[in-house]
Each structure stands twice: as C-alpha cells, then as structure tokens.
Amino acid sequence: MSTHRGYSKRVLVTGGAGFLGSHLCERLIEQGCEVLCVDNYFTGARSNLLKLHNHPRFELVRHDVTFPLYVEVDEIYNLACPASPVHYQHDPVQTTKTSVIGAINMLGLAKRVGAPILQASTSEIYGDPTIHPQPEEYWGNVNTIGPRSCYDEGKRCAETLFFDYNRQHKLKIKVIRIFNTYGPRMHPNDGRVVSNFIVQALKGEPITVFGEGNQTRSFCYVDDLVDGMVKFMATAPDVTGPINLGNPGEFTILELAEQVIRLTGSSSKIVHKPLPKDDPKQRQPDIAKAKALLDWEPTIPLEEGLRRTIAYFADSLK
C-alpha cells in the first residue's frame, strides 16, 4: 500500500493504546501502513501495543488531544476518549473536553494536511432510545444534564463539528457509531458488562446484574468492528456516514451472565442490584447502511468471541 508520494500510507490513530485503538493499529500495520499512535494513557496502556513496540513502521507518542498536534499524516482515526462509565464519569469535564476540543484539534490537523478523518462516535448518542433497533436517522433520546451526559453530549457535539467541517471546509470525513464491542485487551475494571462478568466469573465472585437483567445489548467482537472501520475509511469520499457498526444479535444481560458462567465453568451466583440512572433499556444497531455501503456485517458469533475474551482474561489474571 503506497501513496502518491511513493511510501507507505502514514496513519494517525488517536487513543491508539486503548482497547479498540490497539487492535486497529495492529490491523493497519498488517496492511502495510506506517502508524503514528498517540495516547495520554488515561485508559490506554503501552502493554496493549507490545506486539508493535519494535516494529519499524510503528511510532508511539504520549499526547493529549485537547492540545494541538503538529504532524504530517495521510489519514486520521480519532478514537481518543474514555468510553466506559467508570472512566468517563471519573473526570466528566475532561471527558467533554476530550470529545469536543479533541475533535476540533484533529479536524484542524486534517484540514491542514488534507487528510480524510474518521470519528469513532458511539451508540450512546441515541441515549435511552424510543425506537428499536436504532437507525442512523434517529436523533436520540438523551439527557443533557445527567451523569452520562459528558460522554453522550460530548460525542454528539463532536459529530456536529465533523459535519460542519465537511460542509464548511469540504473536509473528507467518516463518522461511525460504535455499539457494544468486546474482546481481548478490554480494561478489567472498566465497568462494562462483558469484562465485569468474565472477571467476576473467573474469580468466583458474585456476578452483578443491574435490575432484573431484562435490558438488552448487542455485542460485537473487536475484530469485526475493526474490519468495519477499515472498510469505511476505504470507501468513496462522499460516503460520510454516520454509519452504525455493531452486531444486531440481541441478548438480555441475564442471558449474557448465564452464558459467561457456562463458558468459564464458574461457580459464581448472580446477584441483582438497582439500575443506574439513565441506563438504556434496549440497544441494538440497525446495520442496513453498513451492509449496503460497506458490504460489512459481523461474522464472529457471541459464544466464539466470549471464548477468546475469556482466554485473554484467564491469562492476564494469572
């Protein structure tokens, strides 16, 4: 893969030491790109990138995207932002700044160097949806002043900025809305349901289900999601999105807990706790656009993905 300048395409990945970012960096290196990974290590870790540390086409820089970045690149994937409630609620003001000021800085960089830029947005922009499943045309049902608002509204504002840069400056943008994604390198203490359940089951601790466990989620394995991101970046410049990326297979939280117990062979028992404020009752992507425009849909079933993720956590908890 080479550009008109006769060398490997140089790709910037912000938040590249995180769960999703590290998998994306590996995929881009496999495709022959030069990768510049920037991360401030708030939730990311250098250990997520061990496979790439000595690779000649990989560069890792400690940087916070709320400050400008002056580099020369051919493409940008903007993934920088804590994505789990435990982390984004720890410093909600910084979370909003990362989404909004980070987007402004990366869009400014993309405009200066003429690079297409992909924004990792989120299904959280739909809030607690009143439409099911959620198509991209749905505007959402979001609380602007709740404990999750720093993330939800920050990402919504970032989408606004991306489309305004596209309209005002003719910038080549891509916006994806990521639904629940899981896999190796998830942070063990990020409060997300898959990592929570697996870690609790492996330790033989009670498995915490909020409410009755009837709320539903759709779980996409990380390899499938990275496939979608890379395919989207390679589509025609006029395909801007937003496009939902996620697995439309819908499971209740209780079903997930029972499956994790079965796959780990754990003796853990399920305990119920009150539902957190503004926790969505249903979350399922409508991926018709991704199928039509990207020829993409997930291929890894939940049980297979859970087996791989359990194996990772079993090894990392040793």
Which pLDDT does position 90 carry in this prediction? 80
Provide the angle, in degrees to the nearest 10, between the axes of the packed helices 253-264 and 302-316. Answer: 60
Helix (H) or strand (E) holding 106: helix 92-113
Helix (H) or strand (E) holding 182: strand 181-182
Assigned token pair, 83: 């994505």
φ and ψ at 27, to 5 degrees? -65, -40
88 tagged catalytic: no
Which pLDDT does position 283 carry in this prediction? 84
CATH of 10-179+222-248+285-299, one of 3.30.590.10, 3.40.50.1970, 3.40.50.720, 3.40.50.2020: 3.40.50.720
Which pLDDT does position 248 carry in this prediction? 96
Which pLDDT does position 281 carry in this prediction? 80
Q: What is the mean pLDDT of each run of 10 residues along the chain (318 residues)?
A: 63 97 98 97 94 97 98 98 76 94 98 98 93 95 93 96 98 97 91 92 95 92 98 97 96 96 96 81 92 98 98 91
- Could you tell me the residue ranges of all domains in the chain? 10-179+222-248+285-299
Catalytic residue among 77, 88, 126, 151: 151
Q: Is the dihedral of CA 312, 306, 210, 249 positive or negative?
A: positive
Task: Provide the CB-side half-sphere exposure for 77 (13 A, CA).
Answer: 31
Which pLDDT does position 1 carry in this prediction? 45
